């Protein structure tokens, strides 16, 4: 195969990219089989304070583009502390209204939805962020169950609402939880990745069995020089343990800092890309990889040169990392 899209399809997974309306064209749809709106489906772009939708034009453009080019769409994202816009601080009832409206706006044109994004705190604490209502953090009442039925938990409640809408409307959309620094079982330098373990606890509670609320887990995969964000050798083992619960796993926002090659693991960026792609390929239920943009210069972290192309404005050149990914697929 000569494109990432075709190579991935042959290998049985999708390969996509994040983009806005200005970036989707014939090049994009030939190279990528999946599209994640980088900003245009976030609540600050499309949510009213009462949970209704507004200004969905850009999101519609992206979904329609994907539709006419037989590409998958990942909806990104509904419940997130950042870019929450008018939903910042909304109560569960408003969140539920919004979740229903967002799901029904695009229906099956969105194959995967990030219902909850970045629920976990930093500093490898294994705890939740506190922006949305929940009473639990790592078995606060000491009964051994992290997520008791009587506890307030916006994650459970948001997925419960989303699943209800999916079922009542016969949708096939899969409902995902997405986070970063959850990629490895351990962190660079050794030690448990407690943020990954906390995500695992959530998926263990809500992502198992035929009545599962959570269908899929996104590892953002912004690999950089933070010790918790280094590509560790146990990436595949971590993907596997989630897959073993029955959920799909996707690498949803992949970029790999170029300067990783000079320090932490002593390999070039292309080799790092190979390693990450291989880890996903080796797990049957790792069903897709999405890079967070096309070209370095247009990336949210441009100075890190973490993507597969140089150039800009549709005039793109393939990097060594591109060739490595194509070969590996
Ligand atoms: C980023 C976008 O790339 C930027 O354009 C925007 O200014 C901020 O958000 N985790 C996520 C993504 O889930 O939505 C973020 O995207 C990057 C980190």
Question: Per-residue pLDDT for 29 more than 50?
Answer: yes
Instruction: Give residue 155 CA to ligand 1 midpoint distance, Å.
Output: 21
Indicate if 304 belongs to the active site.
no
- Sign (positive/negative) of CA torsion 253, 258, 264, 265? positive
Spatial distance between the Cα atoms of 212 and 92, rounded to a whole number of angstroms: 20
Taking only the tens place, the pLDDT of each residue in 171-204 is 999 999 999 999 999 998 889 999 999 999 999 9
**Could you say which of 31, 38, 248, 253 is catalytic?**
253
Question: Per-residue pLDDT for 75 more than 60?
Answer: yes
Indicate if 118 belongs to the active site.
yes
Instruction: Give residue 135 CA to ligand 1 midpoint distance, Å.
Output: 27
Res 266: pLDDT = 35
Least confident segment among 9-18, 46-55, 218-227? 218-227
Spatial distance between the Cα atoms of 172 and 262, rounded to a whole number of angstroms: 44
ipTM reported for the complex surpasses 0.95:
yes
Spatial distance between the Cα atoms of 1 and 235, rounded to a whole number of angstroms: 26
Q: How distant, in Å, are the alpha carbons of 23, 73, 283, 299 from that of 292?
A: 13, 14, 21, 7
Taking only the tens place, the pLDDT of each residue in 258-313 is 876 565 443 589 999 999 999 999 999 999 999 999 999 999 999 899 999 999 99
Res 265: pLDDT = 46
Which has the higher per-residue pLDDT, 129 or 13? 13
| 266: region left, alpha or beta (phi > 0 left; psi from -120 to 50 alpha) | left
Task: Give me the domains of the chain, ranges plus CATH numbers.
Answer: 4-328 (3.20.20.80)
Question: Per-residue pLDDT for 113 more than 60?
Answer: yes
Instruction: Give residue 295 CA to ligand 1 midpoint distance, Å.
Output: 15
Q: How many CB atoms lie within 10 A of CB 171?
A: 19
Pocket lining: 236 vs ligand 1, CB cutoff 6 Å: no
**Could you say which of 118, 271, 298, 304 is catalytic?**
118
Identify which of 83, 183, 300 to mutate to test ligand 1's pocket (most ligand atoms within 8 A of the CB): 300
Res 323: pLDDT = 94
Question: Per-residue pLDDT for 145 more than 70?
Answer: no
């Amino acid at each position: 195969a000569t494109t990432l899209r075709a190579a991935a399809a042959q290998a049985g997974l999708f390969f996509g990219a994040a983009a806005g309306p200005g970036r989707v064209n014939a090049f994009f749809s030939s190279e990528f089989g999946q599209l994640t709106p980088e900003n245009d489906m976030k609540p600050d772009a499309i949510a009213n304070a009462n949970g209704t939708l507004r200004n969905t034009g850009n999101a519609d453009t992206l979904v329609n583009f994907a539709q006419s080019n037989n590409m998958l769409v990942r909806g990104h994202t509904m419940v997130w502390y950042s870019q929450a816009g008018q939903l910042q601080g909304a109560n569960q009832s408003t969140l539920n209204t919004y979740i229903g409206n967002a799901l029904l706006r695009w229906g099956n044109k969105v194959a995967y939805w990030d219902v909850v994004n970045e629920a976990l705190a930093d500093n490898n604490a294994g705890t939740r962020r506190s922006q949305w209502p929940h009473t639990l953090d790592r078995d606060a009442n000491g009964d051994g169950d992290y997520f008791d039925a009587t506890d307030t938990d916006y994650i459970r409640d948001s997925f419960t609402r989303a699943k209800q809408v999916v079922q009542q409307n016969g949708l096939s959309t899969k409902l995902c939880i997405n986070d970063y620094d959850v990629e490895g079982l351990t962190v660079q330098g050794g030690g448990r990745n407690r943020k990954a373990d906390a995500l695992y606890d959530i998926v263990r509670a809500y992502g198992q069995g035929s009545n599962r609320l959570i269908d899929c887990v996104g590892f953002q995969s912004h690999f950089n020089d933070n010790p918790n964000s280094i590509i560790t050798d146990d990436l595949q083992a971590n993907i596997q343990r989630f897959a073993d619960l029955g959920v799909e796993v996707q690498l949803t926002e992949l970029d790999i800092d170029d300067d990783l090659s000079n320090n932490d693991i002593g390999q070039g960026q292309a080799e790092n890309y190979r390693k990450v792609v291989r880890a996903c390929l080796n797990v049957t239920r790792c069903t897709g990889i999405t890079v967070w943009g096309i070209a370095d210069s247009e990336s949210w972290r441009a100075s890190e040169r973490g993507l597969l192309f140089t150039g800009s404005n549709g005039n793109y050149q393939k990097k060594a990392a591109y060739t490595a990914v194509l070969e590996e697929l």
